[in-house]
Amino acid sequence: MFDTFPLWPARASTTAGSVDALFIFLVTLSAMVSAAVFTMIVVFAVRYRRRRGVAAEQIEGSTALEVTWSVIPLFIFVVIFVWGAVIYFKERTPPRGATEVYVVAKQWMWKLQHEEGQREINELHVPVGRDVKMILTSQDVIHSFYVPAFRIKQDVLPGRYTTAWFHPTKAGIYHLFCAEYCGTQHSGMIGQVVVLEPAQYEAWLSGGGASGSMASNGQNMFQQLGCSTCHRFDTQGRGPNLVGLFGKPVQLEDGRVVTADENYIRESILTPGAKIVSGFKPIMPVFQGLVSEEQLNALVAYVKSLSQSPTGAAGGPTVVPSGAPPQEPKVQ
Amino acid sequence: MATAVIAPERENYLNQEYGIKSWLLTVDHKRIALLYLVSITFFFFIGGFFALLIRLELLTPAGDLVQADTYNKLFTMHGQVMVFFFLIPSIPAVLGNFLVPLMIGARDLAFPRINLLSWYLYIIAGILMLHCMLTGGVDTGWTFYTPFSTAFSNTKVIEAGLAIFISGFSSILTGLNFVVTIHRMRAPGMTWNRLPLFIWAHYATSIIQLLGTPVIAVTLVLVVLERALHLGIFDPTRGGDPLLFQHLFWFYSHPAVYIMILPSMGVVTEIVPCFSRKRIFGYNFVAMSSIAIAVFGFLVWAHHMFVAGISLYSALIFSALSYLVAVPSAIKVFNWTATMYKGSIRFSTPMLYAFGFIGLFTMGGLTGLFLAALGIDVHVTDTYFVIAHFHYIMVGGAVMGYLGGMHFWWPKISGRMYPESLGRFSALIVFLGFNLTFFPQFILGYLGMPRRYWQYPPEFQVLNVLSTAGSTILAVGYLLPMVYFLWSMRYGKLAPANPWGASGLEWTTTSPPPTFNFEHTPVVDWEAYDYENIPAPEEARVAG
Amino acid sequence: MPDSPVAVEHHEPMLQHHFADMEQQRQASSLGMWLFLATEVMFFGGMFCAYLIYRYWYFADFATASKSLDITLGTVNTAVLICSSLTVVLAVRAAQLGKRQSQVVYLALTLVLGLAFLGIKGIEWTSKFKEHHVPGASFHFEGSVPGHPDQPVDQQHAQIFFSLYFAMTGMHALHMVIGVGIFSYLLYCAWKGRYTPEYHTPLENSGLYWHFVDIIWIYLFPLLYLIDRKK
């Protein structure tokens, strides 16, 4: 029981350092304020304890003092707010070019899939020194992906994607916890993040187990499900051309403009009637119930790959079918 | 050492009528307060029992005391019972009901029958909750997050939801009664700024009860309907949004925590001046800070949702607002401390509880600053850090305030003194037990131990063992007052009208008060906390 | 406040013992009712909030679903409720003038109108049930999105519309039923001559409640029935 008794979590990501810095500042501040208040109370309790013949002095108040001890804390709070907000802003803005990992949570396990195709259960292998962005969804209830050593946590919701990212700085094995109560085995829904030195990571990657990159799996699905019938790579399709679509603004026929992000792609597949692209008819079949979360992830990965240059970020080569060269997507 | 009374007892609210019917059909606010006292104490021990089982399970990393499903029910029901059946009613329904009319010089609350109705609603809700617990329980967490609660849990969600729904009406009616009473039934001369700050605190609390509780009521209705009829309002597989539930839930449940803490602050604001023998420092600021907490408290709910999937910009706004709401609480702490300056301090039990409150509430409040900081919250939300934070406020704060208030007003309520040395001893035990139980949890949280975990990795064990050890000490600290309060009702020293030399109209009437509170209507022409003109208890005794 | 408990009893039979005088009692009751109505605003507000959010997200589907509601019956019901509020006001006025018989007539009319409202609502709900628009296992909504005859309405979104429709109108109807109960009791008391120019507080405060329930309907009606109804 006493062999490991840590009092501080491991620090294994770039975020961890910033979070710890603010935390230590707050601990110090709190200790100082508590000490000040406690000391004053003790000193007053002793110095002004009841003594025969010594009456209390009736003091109504002091507006100056009240204003001072309202404004000074408020100022300190503003500092803390800004500091925390800056860290949070960075945490919620995944850097471009990050390696992507798709995560599907379900009661009570984590299913992860690398862009290159490797699948893992309750374990995530990543290399030191590379940005990793996770695209998370749940098959059932709300879960939460929590790696204390990285100081990151993100709720994982059914019906949509959420994202989180980290940049590992130290090789090691770190806890992965589910941090949103999700039923019987909530406390059993744990795993580990294995951070490897880059060379070891490459070795692990090529160690087999992959059956094609996510994007190429997605491309196969795209053909199998008949998507390519309408979503051609020219302007003749009954559906919008998806090349170059990801990340761009899309004009809908009710006038709204939305960004084609992961959630947009997902919604377009599951409930196509929700957002009709301007100039197109609402004829796309509904795929809800016909594709699993993993298949959805593969399709999303494929659509994303249609917006990457052939020598672009890791994640599988862009596979553009032969025929007409990719054209500008039909957005207005 | 007093023995049984020989002289005939003066008529008061306790002996005016005997028999169970006179209690169950009473409309006297003081008797209703005692009905509540018995009921909430009962539920406190049920919730406490669940807590002990939780802490016992957590002695070892493995789940070896109860099954996982049972553990999930234990923490759910611990939370529901403690929040809805103990903390929310506690001070308002017991001390508030007893004291509000007395403090303002009224003969009863505005609506005595509605007061009794609110107790019956609480009892019906409590029975339904007990039935739910005994026939399978509920395992959704007290927060009922969807879609788990509406579409996945196999437990008695509907029954628990209905029980809490009914208890909400009890809370609303109490709040309604207080607001009308404070507005309309103050004695002549009792202007708003002569009101005891306990009244201001309860006024602010009542506003929150009135405006916040209906929202959770309707949210629970929607959850019950969704679960029973398989609707899709909160279920993404049916077109709904689980975050909508979270927004609606926290819109009440955040202000609810101010329902739980404001009355305790009111209690402390009565105790500190009395045992410092001087008026409160900064009356207006303390009064306004209660109102400010009530108002700002409605604007910060999504700080429970920083990692839930809300937008970055919403998160920024709610974080900023959460810092605003911390300012009025800080003001109170400074004002209490300043009240002690150049006072004449006594260390009776109520004052010890007040010290404990100020210390622990300060620590709990400071850790709230951690949680409001977005970058920190991402790491510590849903961990034991949050659990430690809210227990510091609700147990270290609210419950200590409640116990301090019970000791302070016990002579008035029962006509008896409790044994002072035992009182001080229990206060110390509670303070030490509390800190040992909950301080390690801050560390556990930062280390990364998530909440609601039945089993955990072995490196967390030492801190968990410390926490469990503390909880047993804390339990003793809570049992002692139960025992000696009961003892004092028969064997305690008879209490004079004003054993503490305290200010406030309630101390001008007998202990216990007569049913109609005052022989003659008080006419107030003095300021609140008029300690200049009130003799200290030892001087009063000397004077005769 | 009286000095002794007994002093005032024989003056004012309706004065409760803890109040100093009738005026304090009347003001307290009135404030109590206003505060209660504030809680009701928050209660319905939660549902309105959910409704407004989904309506924003699923506007087209909600518009079509809304069109399937019977606007004639809805309008008639609105008129019925407004008239019933008028009869309530006239009943209070009659009490102020000491006219017992008028009170009884107007209260009875209020009850009739209230029951008419509930009856019409029953008819509406029955037709919804027959059309399979009641959320649940047998829910099915035939219809297409406005302006796009070839695009069917999303069943899930339509079901959410009807879930909220039934929740909101159901909660409103429950409040109407309670109102009918209260007014039945008031009718009995009025018939017994309990309300006089000096004392008719229960009438006034119950009237406030009834007006509030009416106002809720006045918001519900356009929100639910009148989405996108240009012909």
pLDDT category at C7 given cuts 50, 70, 90 is very low
Q: With H, G, I as helix, E, B as strand and everything else as coil, classify residue A163.
A: strand
Residue B234, both tokens: 């909160």
Which pLDDT belongs to residue A205?
85
Which residues on neighbouring strands pair with residue A251, listed in sequence order?
A: A257
Which pLDDT belongs to residue A207?
76
DSSP H or E stretch at residue B292? helix B283-296
C16, amino acid identity:
Q
Which pLDDT belongs to residue A263?
93
- For B:364-383, CB contacts with A below 8 A are 366-367, 369-370, 372-379, 381-383
Which residues on neighbouring strands pair with residue A156, listed in sequence order?
A: A143
Handedness of CA A276, A281, A282, A286 (dihedral sign): negative
Q: B113-136 as b/e, with b when 16 or more CB fall inside 10 Å?
A: ebbbbbbebbbebbebbbebbeee
Question: From the candidates A8, A11, A89, A141, which should be mutated to test the interface with B, based on the most B CB atoms within 10 A?
Answer: A141
Domains of chain B, with CATH numbers?
Answer: 29-540 (1.20.210.10)
A321, amino acid identity:
P
- C-alpha separations of B464 from A185, B57, B59 in Å: 20, 10, 6
Which pLDDT belongs to residue C4?
45
pLDDT category at C74 given cuts 50, 70, 90 is very high
Three-state helix/strand/coil letters over B300-314: CHHHHCCCCCCCHHH
Closest CA to B531 of B358, B348, B403, B339: B339
Exposed / middle / buried, residue B349 (Cβ in 10 Å: 0-12, 13-18, 19+)? buried
- A233-251: pLDDT as tens digits: 887 888 999 999 999 999 9
- For C:59-88, CB contacts with A below 8 A are 60
Tell me how close the Cα of C151 comes to any Cα of chain A, in angstroms.
6
- Are the C-beta atoms of C145 and C61 separated by less than 8 Å? yes
Strands (DSSP E) contained in C44-150 are: none
Residue B449, both tokens: 């131990």
- A276-322: pLDDT as tens digits: 899 888 888 889 888 999 999 999 999 999 987 654 444 444 444 44
Cα B388 off chain centre by: 17
Q: Is A274 on the interface with C (CB under 8 A)?
A: yes
> What does the alpha-carbon distance between residue B400 and residue A223 come to, in Å, rounded to a whole number?
67
> Looking at the predicted structure, is the pLDDT value of residue C3 above 50?
no
> What does the alpha-carbon distance between residue C13 and residue B323 come to, in Å, rounded to a whole number?
54
Exposed / middle / buried, residue A131 (Cβ in 10 Å: 0-12, 13-18, 19+)? middle
Question: From the candidates C151, C156, C159, C228, which should be mutated to test the interface with A, based on the most A CB atoms within 10 A?
Answer: C151
Minimal Cβ distance to B277: which of A56, A78, A153: A56
Chain A contacts of B353, Cβ < 8 Å?
A: none
Show the CA angle centred on residue A274, arms to residues A269 and A276, nearest 5°.
Answer: 85
Which pLDDT belongs to residue A289?
84
Chain A contacts of C151, Cβ < 8 Å?
A: 273, 276, 282
Tell me how close the Cα of A306 comes to any Cα of chain B, in angstroms.
27
Q: Which residue has the tokens 């506690």?
A: B90
Cis status of the peptide bond prior to B188, with omega within 30 of 0: no
Nearest C-alpha in A relative to C145? A273
Residue C230, both tokens: 């240009």
> What does the alpha-carbon distance between residue B317 and residue B295 come to, in Å, rounded to a whole number?
16
Mean pLDDT of C137-145: 87
Q: What is the ipTM of this complex?
A: 0.92
Question: From the candidates B170, B186, B231, B523, which should be mutated to test the interface with C, based on the most C CB atoms within 10 A?
Answer: B231
Chain B contacts of C45, Cβ < 8 Å?
A: 214-215, 218
Q: B11-45 as b/e, with b when 16 or more CB fall inside 10 Å?
A: ebbbeeeeeeeeeeebbbbbbbbbbbbebbbebbb
- Are the C-beta atoms of A136 and A148 separated by less than 8 Å? no
Helix B312-340 and helix B349-372, axial crossing angle in degrees, nearest 10: 160
> What does the alpha-carbon distance between residue A229 and residue A237 come to, in Å, rounded to a whole number?
8
Q: Is C151 on the interface with A (CB under 8 A)?
A: yes
- A89-139: pLDDT as tens digits: 999 999 999 999 999 999 999 999 998 888 999 999 999 999 999 999 999
> What does the alpha-carbon distance between residue A103 and residue C50 come to, in Å, rounded to a whole number?
30
DSSP H or E stretch at residue B185? none
Closest CA to B351 of B369, B362, B339, B342: B339
Closest CA to B335 of A29, A69, C227, C228: A69
Exposed / middle / buried, residue A46 (Cβ in 10 Å: 0-12, 13-18, 19+)? exposed
Compute how many other C-beta atoms are within 10 angstroms of the C-beta atom of residue C119. 12
Q: How many CB pairs under 8 A join A and C?
A: 16
Show the CA angle centred on residue B110, arms to residues B109 and B116, nearest 5°.
Answer: 65
Q: Which residue has the higher pLDDT, A51 or A161?
A: A161
Contacts of B119 (CB under 8 A, 6+ apart): B32, B35, B36, B39, B93, B170
Tell me, what DSSP letter sits at residue B190?
-
**What is this structure's pTM?**
0.93
- C-alpha separations of B305 from A19, A156, B20, B84, B233 in Å: 19, 12, 48, 22, 19
| Domain spans of chain C, in order of start | 44-225
Handedness of CA A228, A232, A238, A240 (dihedral sign): positive
- A192-213: pLDDT as tens digits: 999 999 999 999 988 766 678 8
Which residues on neighbouring strands pair with residue A119, listed in sequence order?
A: A113
Cα B288 off chain centre by: 20
Mean pLDDT of C94-101: 94
- Are the C-beta atoms of B535 and B383 separated by less than 8 Å? no
Phi, psi of C152 (to 5 degrees): -70, 155
Mean pLDDT of A140-162: 96
Minimal Cβ distance to C150: which of A271, A274, A282: A282
Closest CA to B386 of B480, B456, B305: B305
A290, amino acid identity:
L
Which pLDDT belongs to residue A7?
86
pLDDT tens, N- to C-terminus, chain B (544 residues)? 444 544 556 889 998 889 999 999 999 999 999 999 999 999 999 999 999 999 999 999 998 999 999 999 999 999 999 999 999 999 999 999 999 999 999 999 999 999 999 999 999 999 999 999 999 999 999 999 999 999 999 999 999 999 999 999 999 999 999 999 999 999 999 999 999 999 999 999 999 999 999 999 999 999 999 999 988 899 999 999 999 999 999 999 999 999 999 999 999 999 999 999 999 999 999 999 999 999 999 999 999 999 999 999 999 999 999 999 999 999 999 999 999 999 999 999 999 999 999 999 999 999 999 999 999 999 999 999 999 999 999 999 999 999 999 999 999 999 999 999 999 999 999 999 999 999 999 999 999 999 999 999 999 999 999 999 999 999 999 999 999 999 999 999 999 999 999 999 999 999 999 999 998 889 999 999 999 888 888 766 554 3
Q: Is B283 on the interface with A (CB under 8 A)?
A: yes
Residue B339, both tokens: 């009240």
CB atoms A282 and C151 under 8 Å:
yes
Q: Is B338 on the interface with A (CB under 8 A)?
A: yes
Q: What secondary structure does DSSP assign to B131-173, as a single string?
A: HHHHTT---STTTT-TTIIIII--S-HHHHHHHHHHHHHHHHH
Domain C44-225 is in which class? mainly alpha
> What does the alpha-carbon distance between residue C219 and residue C207 come to, in Å, rounded to a whole number?
19
pLDDT category at A330 given cuts 50, 70, 90 is very low
Tell me how close the Cα of B114 comes to any Cα of chain A, in angstroms.
39
Three-state helix/strand/coil letters over B356-384: HHHHHHHHHHHHHHHHHCHHHHHHHCCEH
CB atoms A273 and C150 under 8 Å:
no
> What does the alpha-carbon distance between residue A66 and residue B12 come to, in Å, rounded to a whole number?
43
Region of B348 (left: φ > 0; alpha: ψ -120 to 50; beta: rest) is beta
> What does the alpha-carbon distance between residue B167 and residue B164 come to, in Å, rounded to a whole number?
5
Cα C11 off chain centre by: 37
CB atoms B242 and A77 under 8 Å:
no
Nearest C-alpha in A relative to B539? A52
- C-alpha separations of C106 from B286, B409, C88, C118, C208 in Å: 51, 52, 7, 18, 16
> What does the alpha-carbon distance between residue B172 and residue B208 come to, in Å, rounded to a whole number?
9
Nearest C-alpha in C relative to B188? C1
Q: Which residue has the higher pLDDT, C142 or B381?
A: B381
> Looking at the predicted structure, is the pLDDT value of residue C198 above 70?
yes
Domains of chain A, with CATH numbers?
Answer: 8-36+65-211 (2.60.40.420), 214-307 (1.10.760.10)
Residue B479, both tokens: 């049992």
Which pLDDT belongs to residue C2?
43
Tell me, what DSSP letter sits at residue B234?
S
Closest CA to B362 of A180, A37, A122: A37
